[in-house]
Structure 1
């Protein structure tokens, strides 16, 4: 019994991490109501998370040699972060999240061009299934072409593409910079998100900043989110290091369940039949991708090395806000 409980901790860690990401949109909306825009919230919370990692894990942060993959990873993480934050603040949470979860389609394409991994017919079919789910979710007779209907949905789509690029770049970094510790990778991701969002905030009309008691509440929310997200990142890394990659990626889909429940209870958002059908296709593509890669080696194989294993382990590196 004790062994069973001990073996269940990594799974619980991943589920808790997915739950945090499925609920994090709500404090972001609270910040927006206090006058902190999406770009500012993204910059401030990411900076707080980066600072927390650098302070708590400073002994594990080692100096590594320069490589182009580091600024590329920071930039991709910044787009991921800002797209998710801005989209969930201004759009329907579930639709934004489902567009974000088109990651398997983009990962297959990016891995082909950046990692030179062979794009198999199976990978192409799963990518097509994901895209079909998105088209089903977005299509309506009035709008015609199934494209995102507003800027928030475009932001969610861009965030998902950038998240896929982050996954591929993390795998690239593990190959060209094998001495890079997870803590350094986490700091790079949160730091990149903070810098990118800070620059983006310069182009956004800023409302009146919080004042008085609202300023204190906003500051506590920012610091609390930074602490929670940095801790959550390290918690999920603990789970991902001890759970098979295919199983971990399926557990991560628990985020969609938490998001659906939280959006219904806290925002009154109820997905329609098309959203459920399209989302089902997207989730099915993710599950099938995990199942098909369940027995493949992590490296040294001709059949998509790393894509079915290492890149899926990187889901825990997500720098959401």
Structure 2
């Protein structure tokens, strides 16, 4: 591919990635709303990630796609990103939204390391400056937290950090195997998110599985939020991750952190933003711009 065409392709991928990740910044909203409507604990995570399968499975059957024809790479990508999504979603339910989001985005560090060791990614001064700026912004967002975000380090924090590591491996897999079918990798991603979410729900909230009537009540919210918003954004992120190296992907996906921080501040009174956090959010946005 000519250098000019490749540069245009990368710019387009970077823009779409920022937009797709920004949608994730509102991911916590339907999860918390389902909790409010009676879907306890992380069962909302399970149901929310199950809805896209209702779209993907018939589509794969209609296209005649064999999920097991060459499952290796797609299964690896789906397992890494799916378990990451299940862990991240669970952390959002049991821990402060802002802090969980910030901890997940330490994936910028893991992605850069994996990109260098596995994909032979070249690190230039601009990339180093972008990573440093992004991580410094995240640091300010974390240490500048007040109220509920000051709670002690717990299992939610462990899940958030682990989800970032797993997602970094998944993003590296997307770049390593760019020819994998997007529908197939997306299917595996949501399947493993459901499986991981179910395990976390059973372990953390035993005996709270919702009744069918409760699921029907929240079905419109879950279906619109996941199948019509989350699914397209996942596919955009997966496509862009084929074009861009994992380190850059992680930096650009920090747009989610910015949207999540602002939305949680506006809609969750217990998660107010301090001046230091607003400064950190501005630096995160600057990192996204530098990385694009």
For Structure 1 versus Structure 2, the TM-score category normalised by the shorter chain is 0.7 to 0.9
Report matched runs for 1:182-261 at 5 Å: 182-210=182-210, 214-229=214-229, 231-233=231-233, 236=236, 254-261=255-262
Compared with structure 1, are the counterparts of its residues 25 and 220 closer, same or farther at alpha carbon in structure 2 (3 Å cutoff)? same
Given that 1:74 and 1:188 are in contact with CA atoms closer than 8 Å, whether structure 2 keeps it comes out as yes
Deviation at 1:213, TM superposition (A): 6.0
- Aligned twin of 1:266: 267
For residue 100 of structure 1, the aligned residue among 101, 104, 121 is: 104
For residue 55 of structure 2, the aligned residue among 43, 52, 56 is: 52
Given that 2:85 and 2:193 are in contact with CA atoms closer than 8 Å, whether structure 1 keeps it comes out as yes
Greater Cα offset, 116-125 or 268-277: 116-125
Aligned counterparts of 2:120 and 2:273: Cα–Cα separation in 1: 38
Compared with structure 1, are the counterparts of its residues 38 and 112 closer, same or farther at alpha carbon in structure 2 (3 Å cutoff)? farther
Query: Which structure 2 residue ranges, 5 or more long, are not aligned?
Result: 1-11, 145-149
For the pair 1:81 / 2:85, whether they are aligned, the reply is yes
Aligned counterparts of 1:182 and 1:218: Cα–Cα separation in 2: 28
Greater Cα offset, 251-260 or 80-89: 251-260
- Aligned twin of 1:29: 32
RMSD of the TM alignment (CA)? 4.0
Deviation at 1:121, TM superposition (A): 5.9
For residue 114 of structure 1, the aligned residue among 118, 124, 135 is: 118
Given that 1:73 and 1:189 are in contact with CA atoms closer than 8 Å, whether structure 2 keeps it comes out as yes
Aligned counterparts of 1:202 and 1:249: Cα–Cα separation in 2: 31
Aligned counterparts of 1:237 and 1:138: Cα–Cα separation in 2: 25
- Aligned twin of 2:289: 287
Deviation at 1:55, TM superposition (A): 1.4
Aligned counterparts of 2:19 and 2:138: Cα–Cα separation in 1: 27
Compared with structure 1, are the counterparts of its residues 93 and 205 closer, same or farther at alpha carbon in structure 2 (3 Å cutoff)? closer
Compared with structure 1, are the counterparts of its residues 272 and 127 closer, same or farther at alpha carbon in structure 2 (3 Å cutoff)? same
- Aligned twin of 1:168: 172
Deviation string 1:227-269 (CA, Å, 9 cap, x unpaired) is 224553377369959x999999988655445434432332123
Given that 2:17 and 2:240 are in contact with CA atoms closer than 8 Å, whether structure 1 keeps it comes out as yes
Deviation string 1:95-140 (CA, Å, 9 cap, x unpaired) is 3223323332221111123324345565455444444444444348
Deviation at 1:207, TM superposition (A): 5.0
Given that 1:96 and 1:152 are in contact with CA atoms closer than 8 Å, whether structure 2 keeps it comes out as yes
Query: Higher helix proportion, which one?
Result: 2
Aligned counterparts of 2:151 and 2:185: Cα–Cα separation in 1: 34
Deviation at 1:168, TM superposition (A): 0.6
Helix, strand or coil: the match of 2:204? coil
Compared with structure 1, are the counterparts of its residues 216 and 54 closer, same or farther at alpha carbon in structure 2 (3 Å cutoff)? closer
Aligned counterparts of 2:136 and 2:74: Cα–Cα separation in 1: 33
- Aligned twin of 1:316: none
Given that 2:140 and 2:279 are in contact with CA atoms closer than 8 Å, whether structure 1 keeps it comes out as yes
Aligned counterparts of 2:239 and 2:195: Cα–Cα separation in 1: 28
Aligned counterparts of 1:265 and 1:70: Cα–Cα separation in 2: 38
